[in-house]
Amino acid sequence: MAEVSGGEIAAKALLNEGVDTIFFLTGGPITPIIVEANKLGIRCVDVRHEQAAAMAAHGYARSTGKPGVCICASGPGTTNAVTGIANAFVDCVPILTIGGASPAIQFGMGGFQEIDQLAMMKPINKWSDRVLQTHRIPEMISTAFRQATTGKPGPVYLDFPKDTIDEVADEEQVVYPSKPRTTARAEGDRQLIKEAIEILSKAERPVILAGTGTYWSQSGTEFQEFVEMSKIPFYTMPQTRGIVPDDHPMSFLGARTKAYAEADAVLVMGTRFNYMVAFGQSPRFAPDVKFIQVDIDPAEIGHNRDVEVGIIGDCKAVFQQLIYEGRPVFEGRDELPWVDELRARDAANRERSEVQMASDQTPIHPLRLCREVRDFLDRDATLIVDGQEILNFGRQSIPTFTPGSRLNSGPFGNIGTGVPFGMAAKIARPDKQVLVLTGDGSFGFNGIELDSAVRNNIPFVTVISNNAGWASGAVSRQDEPGRFLGFSNYEQMAEAFGCYVERVEDPEQIRPALERAFAAGIPALVNVVVDSEVKVVTQPFSAYQKGAVGVKQSYKD
């Protein structure tokens, strides 16, 4: 009887689950898995730090709509991935992390790099377990993917002791599941669907607020159909941008504050009442607003605030139900006066922004940088925005038109994701433009991964908005410890790795630099010196406090 090793079984099991890319940093005891995966044609992308491996798996999942995979060595190799995994957990992104571990036979004896990795991983993963029997590896990997992708998605972790990987099993005992997951979609309660339609049809100022539940359910087509049928304005959470194009006639990005504060009915599709929407409370929303909440996770219904109607279901299926029940009510009706109000506010705020976006000042205004990026990118390009000031400037000024092509730090506020996300997005969409727009501070976390991009031939472009430090005012507030970083020559570091590089200090040179960077056909970095004193206008953190009152809100957030 033929015998197969744990490493070979794990690689075959990953291939059986449809895995085509793995992010990893080599080391014991996981090397046999990587070697065997490479033999099977799985692309194995090595990085310089395991945090970046987890973040790249996250970015890959966001870009493709399917789980990302990262594999880490034992001990510090696995603990290094914790921040990236936690980011995926808070962002509800399906990734599988395989962590090598000390031999199980030595547990409790003080083996090399022995630490209870499983205990550390449980709080930051949707599901975690340890593989102790070599012949059960396919079963455990299949279970991990099922846990990651069903219901509310999220990261999962499998602990692989060294002896599980090294041991062999009788090939006849190894079973690779053929159809482990259902494609069924959970529909909402029909009576509640009817109640939702009744509320929306009677509302004078309705709004749709959509989160990533709409992306993972692949409901963009149904979402757009419902918007066009009902003529209800919509807003998407940052990670959901593009599921319906930002330039859709019912999208008014410059009027978000007005829409939230004055809406009398809000259909919340697949997003949580967290700090990003001020927990759904006043003054961000009107005290008497009627919320209709749709979520695949029952625990999210009514979390942080009461809802008028709570529907448990898959967003795609529920949109289909809303279309069916709403067609006799909405089809053929005129736009509400509310739409004209939002359109006017949106136009006024866009006009105000365009003045700054056209600025010829030096140092360069960050909004001018955003305008040049906006005007340069193709409609189906992937944009990754990472940082604080530039993240918010980019969110306000650069639209997105296709699903999965807008990535940012997410609700965990985890800066440093930019370069790993860029690597992953370019692997996922090799024939599309991929641009990382990052702050100089955030670039410092994982900027060394440009070396990984060069070695793995992943040609995307990184643009640094260099304001000399953390947040705005780094130059004028140098007396504050740790704020000032200087207008560092990051391009010199990238050049040493083999990247195409430029430094830009004249606004008229931004676009030519972008053109040359993309034409280079290799990983590229453009270091743009911007005004360090410019501060983005956005929603203050005080508005994120539960029950906050009397908060001054910005015109564009």
Question: At residue 460, what are phi and psi to the nearest 5 degrees?
Answer: -115, 170
d(Cα 9, Cα 405) in Å, to the nearest integer? 34
Show the tokens assigned to 508: 């008229």
Mean residue pLDDT of the chain comes to 94
- What pLDDT is stored for residue 543 in this prediction? 44
Number of CB atoms found within 10 A of residue 312's CB: 19
In the chain, the percentage of residues whose pLDDT exceeds 90 is 87
Show the tokens assigned to 79: 């603990």
Q: Are strands 168-170 and 3-5 parallel, antiparallel or unpaired?
A: antiparallel
pLDDT (average), residues 277-286: 95
- What pLDDT is stored for residue 178 in this prediction? 87
- What pLDDT is stored for residue 1 in this prediction? 63
Task: Report whether pLDDT(555) > 60.
Answer: no
d(Cα 146, Cα 182) in Å, to the nearest integer? 9
Residues 6 or more apart whose Cβ sits within 8 Å of residue 27: 72, 73, 74, 77, 100
Nearest of 129, 155, 143, 182 to residue 67 by alpha carbon: 155
Residue 235, CB-side half-sphere exposure with 13 Å CA sphere? 26
**Position of tokens 């990003």?**
276
Q: List, for residues 391-433, the tens digit of each pLDDT value.
A: 999 998 999 999 999 999 889 999 999 999 999 999 999 999 9
- What pLDDT is stored for residue 105 in this prediction? 86
Q: List, for residues 233-242, the tens digit of each pLDDT value.
A: 999 999 999 9
Question: At residue 530, what are phi and psi to the nearest 5 degrees?
Answer: -120, 170
Show the tokens assigned to 449: 């991964």
Q: List, for residues 40-79, the tens digit of each pLDDT value.
A: 999 999 999 999 999 999 999 999 999 999 999 999 999 9
Q: List, for residues 472-518, the tens digit of each pLDDT value.
A: 988 888 888 999 999 999 999 999 999 999 999 999 999 999 999 99
Burial degree of 178 (CB within 10 A; 0-12, 13-18, 19+): exposed
d(Cα 477, Cα 500) in Å, to the nearest integer? 33
Q: List, for residues 98-142, the tens digit of each pLDDT value.
A: 999 999 888 887 888 889 999 999 999 999 999 999 999 999 999
Q: Would you put residue 117 in left (φ > 0), alpha (ψ -120 to 50) or beta? A: alpha
Show the tokens assigned to 152: 């509310």
Question: At residue 443, what are phi and psi to the nearest 5 degrees?
Answer: -60, -35
d(Cα 480, Cα 553) in Å, to the nearest integer? 27
**Residues 441, 387 contacting (CB under 8 angstroms):** yes
d(Cα 359, Cα 369) in Å, to the nearest integer? 10
Show the tokens assigned to 380: 């189906």
d(Cα 162, Cα 159) in Å, to the nearest integer? 10
Q: List, for residues 251-268, the tens digit of each pLDDT value.
A: 999 999 999 999 999 999
- What pLDDT is stored for residue 442 in this prediction? 97
Show the tokens assigned to 44: 């194995």
Fold of the CATH domain 358-529: Rossmann fold (3.40.50)
- Identify the CATH number of the domain defined by range 3-173: 3.40.50.970
Give me the helices (H) in 447-541, please. Answer: 449-455, 490-497, 510-519
Task: Report whether pLDDT(556) > 70.
Answer: no
- What pLDDT is stored for residue 20 in this prediction? 98
Please check whether the two domains, 3-173 and 358-529, share a CATH topology. Answer: yes
Q: List, for residues 161-194, the tens digit of each pLDDT value.
A: 999 999 999 999 999 998 777 888 999 999 999 9
Q: In what order do the strands lie in the sheet with 524-529?
A: 406-408, 382-386, 434-439, 461-466, 524-529, 500-504
Q: In what order do the strands lie in the sheet with 290-295?
A: 234-236, 206-210, 265-269, 290-295, 309-312
User: Whole-model pTM?
Assistant: 0.94
Q: Where are the domains of the chain?
A: 3-173, 190-344, 358-529
Domain 190-344 matching CATH 3.90.1150.10: the answer reads no
CA dihedral 429→431→433→434, nearest 10 degrees, is 30
**Residues 138, 16 contacting (CB under 8 angstroms):** yes
d(Cα 406, Cα 238) in Å, to the nearest integer? 8
Q: List, for residues 323-366, the tens digit of each pLDDT value.
A: 999 999 998 899 999 999 999 999 999 888 888 899 999 999 99
The CA-CA-CA angle for residues 364, 510, 59, to 5°, reads: 100
For residue 539, name the pLDDT band (cuts at 50, 70, 90): low
CA pseudo-torsion sign 232, 279, 387, 91: negative
In the chain, the percentage of residues whose pLDDT exceeds 70 is 96
Nearest of 357, 354, 360, 367 to residue 509 by alpha carbon: 360
